[in-house]
Structure 1
Amino acid sequence: MGRNIEFNKQEVQNKAMNLFWKKGYESTSLSDLLTEMRLSKSSFYQTFQSKHILFESCLSYYAKSLIEDIVFEYKESLNSFLFFEKFLNDIANNTQSEIGQKGCLLMNTATEFSQRDILLSKIVDQSLKKIETTFIKIIMKGQFENNLSKTISPETLAPFLMTIICGLKSRSKAGVSKNILLTTVNITLELIQEKN
């Protein structure tokens, strides 16, 4: 009978996720993971089976948490425009922080694997579609309440905003100055705000 594994699985998985997020999948070695997660090799394989399976789990958890955060932030906002205003400004203002310099794990994964891994590509694609669907609902509400422009349909505006957000996160990771990112944010907000 195997020894009981005495650790919080989600806690150690979060440590792995942050390491993958910072270094990328290929650059994160098993030794790096064992050190960061404070696990023996036997405990690692008994719990997570492989580095790849662990990464799949981390990526899925990241995506789920991101969508939950978007929904929470929207519910905390007074309206759809103010939600997008805060969401975009937070990305620009965090450019010098650790999280800003790590970029987006979904987009980092898409860039690193470039469709080479079917399962990971599926997780990324499905997650981005869920975020886009969430944005469409937020935009529809904003247009109905007259705080978002009606000149662009929700189905067109949502992927546009996704592209802006991915660009902001990628440029933030590349070390572009906050002022440049804020200019992009301001132009985007000017475009989407309803002019009363």
Structure 2
Amino acid sequence: MARTKVFNEEEVLGKAVKLFWEKGYNGTSAQDLVDRLGISRSSLYDTYGDKFRLFKRSLLQYRKEFAGSMIEMIHSSDDYEKTLVEVFEYVVTESLQEKFSKGCFMVNSSVEMAPHNPEIAEIVNGNRQDIEDALLQLIKKGQETGQFSKKHGARPLARFIFNTISGLRVTSKSGADKKVFDDIVTIALAALK
């Protein structure tokens, strides 16, 4: 007779996201997973498979939550400049509020795992493309309404803004102060004028 699970899979997955985000794939041991997730090794492997499958599932969950909320914010916008400012404010505020500067789980994974693992590269590139496409639509609409300049194409600007957001996430890992973030955001927004 199969044993009944006595834990919430989504709650445990949330803990795995936080752990992998903090320590990375290579820095997280099987014992770290057992200790932090609060489940036995057998439950861990029976439910989530091996460490890599749990990492992949964690990264997909992160993508769904964080990229999904950013994309929703962008798609529901009718003030394109204000929305872009809000996206940057969200990234900066989140980065400065962290006690432990862990950056962005997706950016961290793109550096640690994507160059060596095609499955992770696919997730990272899909995330980039989804956000870039949302930014593209926002910038196009901003250009059509005159909020943004047409001096540069919408696609290159979307790529620039995405890269700036990723750069802010990396900058947060070094413990930079708010002035550094503000300077970067100011220049990024000026590129749209």
1:119-171 Cα shifts (integer Å, max 9, x gaps): 11111111111111111111112112221222111111111111111111101
AA matched with 2:60: S
1:61 maps to 61
TM-score, normalised to structure 1's length? 0.91
For 2:94 and 2:3, the matched residues in 1 are separated by 43
8 Å Cα contact 2:74/2:135 also seen in 1: no
Q: Provide the C-alpha distance between the structure 2 equivalents of 1:148 and 1:184, rounded to a whole number of angstroms.
A: 18
Question: Can you give the 5+ residue segments of structure 1 that lack an aligned partner in the other structure?
Answer: none
Following the alignment from structure 1 to structure 2, what is the Cα–Cα distance between the partners of residues 71 and 93?
18
Task: Tell whether 2:182 aligns with 1:182.
Answer: yes
Q: Where in structure 2 are the equivalents of 1:101-180 lying within 5 Å?
A: 101-180=101-180
SS at 2:191 equivalent: helix
User: Kindly tell me: are residues 9 and 75 of structure 1, through their superposed partners in 2, closer, same or farther at Cα, counting changes over 3 Å?
Assistant: same
Alpha-carbon distance between aligned partners in 1 of 2:39 and 2:100, rounded to the nearest angstrom: 28
Amino acid at match of 1:105: F
Q: Which runs of 4+ in 1 moved over 6 A?
A: none
Number of residue pairs matched?
Answer: 193
TM-score between the two structures when normalised by the length of structure 2: 0.92
RMSD over aligned Cα atoms: 1.7
Does the 8 Å contact 1:81/1:148 carry over to 2?
A: yes
Within 1, Cα distance between the matches of 2:156 and 2:146?
Answer: 18
- Identity over aligned pairs, percent: 31
What is the rounded CA distance, in whole Å, between the counterparts of 1:133 and 1:120 in structure 2? 20
Paired residue type of 1:2: A
Distance 1:72 1:133 in 2: 12
